[in-house]
Amino acid sequence: MPDSAIDIAAYVARTGYTGPLTPTRETFVGLHRAQAYSIPFENFDIHLGRPIGLDAPSLSRKLLTKRRGGYCYELNGLFGRVLRQLGFTVTNLVGRNLIAGEPLRPRAHQLLLVEVDGQPWVADLGFGGNTLLEPIPLEIGPEHRMGFDSYRLQAAPQHNYHVQLLMDGQWQSLYTFTLDEAQPSDYQMMSYFYSNSPDSPFRQQRICARATPEYRATLVDRELKVRRPDGRSTISVLADDGAYATALDQYFGIRLPEPVSRLFS
């Protein structure tokens, strides 16, 4: 198998996907949902002093074999490679995080544009606790219900699109993007900054997030938030390393070989 290829059988086993693998809308939506529910967003390797590799062997080893998660360049990088191998047309895009507020972060969030039967779709598995569960058509206005959240696309100046999430009855822009194509080298540069610069939010916080049909869980440093379909949310502080390790396993499916204390050293 060439270095640029992902083992599709290993990917299917990791995500639990059971549908067809032909380049159809059914496959596309099903794969997106399966990965969203199985491979968490997390940035722990940055705090463990490990480099982030975006090549196919690195992605396969970390996300599939070691059953870890990653951030947008890893999660969407893996998904884009899988889709291309299955015959989909995929364009790399870049967005700017808006929900983080001022000052605005660089235009550095990876997302994907995927064409299915002549229809362009936005795919994104890497926006932390607010990431899409399913792709959405590149259409302005319609509301898309996913699990217990709703999303939509809105137009913005300079040929921008906003991905918005309905939060507390108000539409909140998560990030903005254009249709200008990005290159793998763009992501390598962005990932290097976010994994190495002291100004990077990923150097300042340990973040983990995962969605399932039963909950959405987000762990920022030692604060765990679990949101349920009925609207209930619980927030707890995992001050004990044992409780932290248990939560990682229970809510995110992650078992670190290193002691939890290394994340905070």
Active-site positions read 72, 109, 124
Q: What is the DSSP letter of 247?
A: H
Question: Distance (Å, rounded) from C-alpha 203 to C-alpha 221?
Answer: 11
Which two tokens mark 42?
A: 């997390």
**Distance between start and end Cα atoms, the chain:** 39
User: Up-side HSE of residue 77: CA atoms within 13 Å toward CB?
Assistant: 29
Question: Distance (Å, rounded) from C-alpha 52 to C-alpha 224?
Answer: 25
- Chain centroid, CA 119 distance in Å: 22
Question: Distance (Å, rounded) from C-alpha 35 to C-alpha 261?
Answer: 29
Question: Distance (Å, rounded) from C-alpha 154 to C-alpha 29?
Answer: 21
